[in-house]
């Protein structure tokens, strides 16, 4: 018979400002200030801004002669997101029972550390930039958007391998590495037939990944100290990151294959 209970707190403050001049010039700014009990004492709070600007070119005077363009808008978006979807108490020292010990005829219940503690655990942040073009053409028969994106995921959270000693256990939950990718996305919807009794449309979606890179921090925080990892351990961390990223997604699976090939070359 046993019981178990855990808990965490998430506090969020949010503000947003919108500006719209004749639906031609558009501006939005927002800021989230969030605190999570899951992170280290000095890293519980994070700021997550977002900004978006747009210009509806089709409303300008020099576009009036192009009757086949119904709507044409250029936009730029930048935003930071935070990830705190991890287990509770990873930044705190916790203990667990290690059985019983016999001493001088008495039995003692032995307790000890249950994991490597990381008091420097902090938010994993995603920095996303996007330049796009939204369009509607030929009396709204063709609509869609074209986007160029740049995404960076920093301070990746995960359970990674560490040397023993100086650590008590072979893994620690920490922030290690940065993942970047850039590319293009296109989606077009064609309203081929539109009558009173029948409508037929189809959508084309495509994308092109230009670059993808993964860097791993050579230094991690363990017990309030910076420890530089040997090359062999950095390779193990890369392997752990790749294994954690394998989720069936084509992009992620491709990253896993590329990194595994790189590991083979490094290790000979």
The 3-class secondary structure across the chain, one letter per residue, is CCCCCCCCCEEEEEEEEEEEECCCEEEEEEEEEEEECCCCCCCCEEEEEEEEEEEEHHHCHHHCCCCCEEEEEEEEEEEEEEECCCCCCCCCCCEEEEEEEEECCEEEEEEEECCCCCCCCCCEEEEEEEEEEEEEECCCCEEEEEEEEEEEEECCEEEEECCCCCCCCCEEEEECCEEEEEEEEEEEEEEEEECCCCEEEEEEEEEEEEEEEEECCCEEEECCEEEECCHHHHHHHHHHHHHHHCCCCHHHHHHHHHHHHHHHHHHC
Specify the higher pLDDT residue, 126 or 171. 126
Confidence band for 261, pLDDT divided at 50, 70 and 90: low
pLDDT at 89 over 70: yes
Predicted TM-score (pTM) of the model is 0.72
User: Residue range 50-71: average pLDDT?
Assistant: 91
**Mean pLDDT of all residues in the chain?**
80
Report the pLDDT value the prediction gives residue 115, as an integer from 0 to 100: 86
Is the model's pLDDT at 51 over the cut of 60? yes
pLDDT score of 222 more than 70: no
* Residue 183 or 242, more confident: 183
Nearest to 8 by CA among 121, 145, 176, 156: 121
145: pLDDT strictly greater than 90: yes
pLDDT greater than 80 at residue 78 = yes
pLDDT score for 11: 94
Span 43-69, mean pLDDT? 92
Give the residue-averaged pLDDT of 192-198: 82
The pLDDT assigned to 212 comes to 66
Task: Place 246 in a pLDDT band, splitting at 50, 70 and 90.
Answer: very low
- Of 27 and 60, more confident: 27
* Nearest of 69, 60, 64 to residue 141 by alpha carbon: 69
Predicted local confidence at residue 135, as pLDDT? 93
> Confidence class of residue 260 from pLDDT cuts 50, 70 and 90?
low
Average pLDDT over residues 199-221: 71
pLDDT number for residue 82 = 92
Q: Between 75 and 235, whose confidence is greater?
A: 75
Query: Residue 251's pLDDT band (boundaries 50, 70, 90)?
Result: very low
For residue 34, what pLDDT is reported?
A: 95
Q: So what's the pLDDT on residue 20?
A: 92
């Amino acid at each position: 018979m046993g019981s178990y209970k855990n808990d965490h707190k998430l506090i969020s403050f949010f503000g947003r400002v919108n500006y719209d001049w004749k639906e031609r010039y558009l501006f939005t700014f927002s800021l989230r200030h969030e605190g999570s009990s899951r992170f280290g004492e000095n890293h519980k709070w994070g700021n997550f801004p977002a900004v978006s600007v747009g210009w509806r070119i089709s409303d300008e005077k020099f576009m009036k002669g192009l009757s086949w363009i119904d709507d044409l808008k250029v936009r730029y978006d930048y935003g930071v997101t935070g990830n705190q979807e991890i287990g509770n108490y990873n930044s705190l020292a916790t203990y667990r029972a290690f059985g019983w010990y016999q001493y001088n005829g008495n039995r003692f219940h032995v307790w000890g550390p249950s994991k490597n503690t990381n008091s420097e655990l902090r938010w994993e942040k995603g920095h996303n930039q996007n330049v796009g073009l939204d369009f509607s053409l030929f009396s709204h028969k063709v609509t869609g958007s074209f986007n160029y994106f740049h995404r960076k995921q920093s301070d990746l959270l995960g359970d990674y391998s560490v040397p023993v000693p100086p650590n008590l256990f072979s893994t620690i939950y920490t922030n290690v590495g940065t993942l970047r990718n850039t590319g293009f996305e296109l989606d077009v919807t064609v309203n081929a037939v539109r009558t009173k009794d029948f409508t037929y449309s189809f959508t084309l979606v495509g994308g092109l990944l230009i670059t993808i890179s993964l860097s791993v921090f050579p230094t991690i925080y363990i017990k309030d100290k910076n420890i530089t990892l040997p090359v062999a351990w950095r390779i193990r961390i890369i392997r752990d990151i790749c294994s954690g990223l394998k989720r069936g997604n084509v992009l992620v699976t491709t990253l896993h294959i590329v990194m595994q090939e790189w590991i083979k070359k490094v290790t000979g």
